[in-house]
Amino acid sequence: MRLKDKVALVTGSASGIGRAIALKLAQEGANVAVADLNLEGAKETAEEIKKLGRKTLAVKVDVVKKDEVQAMVDAVIKQFGKLDICCNNAGVSTMNAVVDLTEHDWDFNMDVNAKGVFLCCQAEAKQLIKQGSGKIINTASMGGKHGIPFLAHYCASKYAVIGFTKSLAFELAKYKINVNCVCPGLVKTSMQSREIVWEGKLRGMTPEEVLEDYVNMTPLGRLEEPEDVANIVAFLASPEADFMTAQAINITGGIETN
């Protein structure tokens, strides 16, 4: 096991990509703190981690609130005594044409996707600096590397995550802390289930036609699974990636980005 006795914190891990990351890190030997706004969902993920024989902790957190983020990190340190791997995965999306976007749409995406990553990284970095080591892995998106119709605000937030990740990596390198982000493509999650309905209405297509379009635009010929992302996160969290930092890793099944 590559991560035996490491302590990991994964936000947005009640479901989807975050849940897959939390379980994969546990399978690799890590003890995992499961953080999410949905506490019941976080507890369900934590129960699965217990079945793998790892220690765990379920924490409710709103990543846009600084005091809750700090309380989350404090709870992890109190429970486990250290923090080795920080996966800032909590994210949201809405979809609309720019001319119809509301300020709420913009603020909601930027707050959770960008500000949330900033607040989590800030609190985590202070602890990792004290320890003199650690891994931070943020979830960005292929939408952080190229524009996507009806997702301009979401793309803006994910571009921010990539720029922030790379900048933070340079600041923390002297403390032997690696900071990277992953850029998933078209991942089969509950978020995607909502998005294909929205996109279908905006493009005059059925959800089934949207899904078929997604598969057709993916060179590997299938939708991405949350586990596809989790596998790369586990690598970045491992000693095998000790010489990687300031990277934004595509996990898109071959979909090209700029």
In the annotation, is 214 catalytic? no
- Of 87, 15, 26, 17, residue with least CA distance to 227: 17
- Alpha carbons 87 and 21: distance in angstroms, whole number: 8
- Alpha carbons 93 and 77: distance in angstroms, whole number: 31
C-alpha to C-alpha distances, 176 to 8, 162, 245, 247, nearest whole angstrom: 17, 20, 10, 15
Pairing, β 56-60 against β 85-88: unpaired
154, 159, 175, 214: the active-site residue: 154
Sequence-ordered strand ranges (E) for 16-92: 31-36, 56-60, 85-88
Enzyme catalytic residues:
154
